[in-house]
Chains A and B, each alone.
Chain A
Amino acid sequence: MATMVNSIRERTIAENSMVILLQGLQGEVTTVDLKNESTARGRVVSVDAFMNIRLEDVLYRDRRGQLTQLQDLFITGRNVRYVHIPDHRDIMKTIEGQLAKIHRVRNFGGEGGGRKEFAKKSKSDFPKKYQSVSSPPLQTALPNSFYSPRG
């Protein structure tokens, strides 16, 4: 699967918005509608937190309908209008899978050593509810900035 973004800032931005769903579509063939009325259909290589999308093996149709084949296409996030999501992808599972990846990266390095995203003085100092950060929840709880039907 595609590697994780390295920047903490990008991870946090992605984790708290719906871009994370687009990041979960990496490897899928999708159509992206741009703001300039053109469309690009290709395989998603990567999507970053700012919705910049990189596609490969692209069929680009401009607003007049003229088709162009492109090997590699980079679309700035601000130029995206729609992203068509393939039918066979379950949205909640995709989002939960991406969140699990982020939590895994955050906890990488073990409890004692390794670099942590949040510097903690010691585990015992903090009340219990903040310690939930260090152990990933077994049932993925979406951050509260996600509003989606439960169950």
Chain B
Amino acid sequence: MICRGHITAFCRRCTLPHLKTRFPQIWQPPHRFVNDADSNIMADEVEQQPPTNTVEEPLDLIRLSLDERIYVKMRNDRELRGRLHAYDQHLNMILGDVEETVTTVEIDEETYEELYKSTKRNIPMLFVRGDGVVLVAPPLRVG
């Protein structure tokens, strides 16, 4: 099984070997469509995909929030507020100066009313695994 990609040995997304790895004889470099119409494909020292400034996909919106304070809602009623230092396609994130809020609901035995409690803690630098992330947003403005 191969993946129709190019540069790396294995595809980043499907982790299958690329055509280039499996059948190097029939592989041909793909056509490169560079962003500006002026520079031709033979431009020297062009890196794989130069980081573009246009917003093309939802992950690019997160790129706009780099080095800014963000609000992250996570699974199990957790919220994080911190400065986004880095992220990847899985939404694994590095957050600095982060405050984690865990919200729990306690139900009063007699009156059956719900009491919402939140526990906070501060962590200087945190690596967050992406599969726990639900949403990423700018910090909520109060009022």
> Which residues of A are in contact with B by a Cβ distance under 8 Å?
8-9, 12-13, 15-19, 21-22, 35, 51, 77-78, 80-87, 91, 95, 117-121, 126-130, 132-133, 141, 143-149
Contacts and interface: CB of A to CB of B under 8 A. Distances in A.
Given A85-B127, A148-B66, A12 B10 contact: yes
12 contacts: A12-B10, A13-B12, A16-B12, A78-B131, A83-B126, A83-B127, A85-B94, A85-B126, A87-B124, A129-B43, A132-B45, A147-B87
A84 B45 CA distance: 38
Contact of B92 (A9, A17, A85): A17
Interface residues of B, number: 45
B23 to A, nearest CB: 10
B120 interface: no
B15 A126 contact: no
Given A15-B8, A18-B127, 14 more contacts: A9-B15, A12-B15, A13-B10, A16-B8, A19-B92, A35-B132, A81-B128, A87-B125, A91-B125, A95-B86, A117-B9, A120-B24, A132-B45, A149-B67
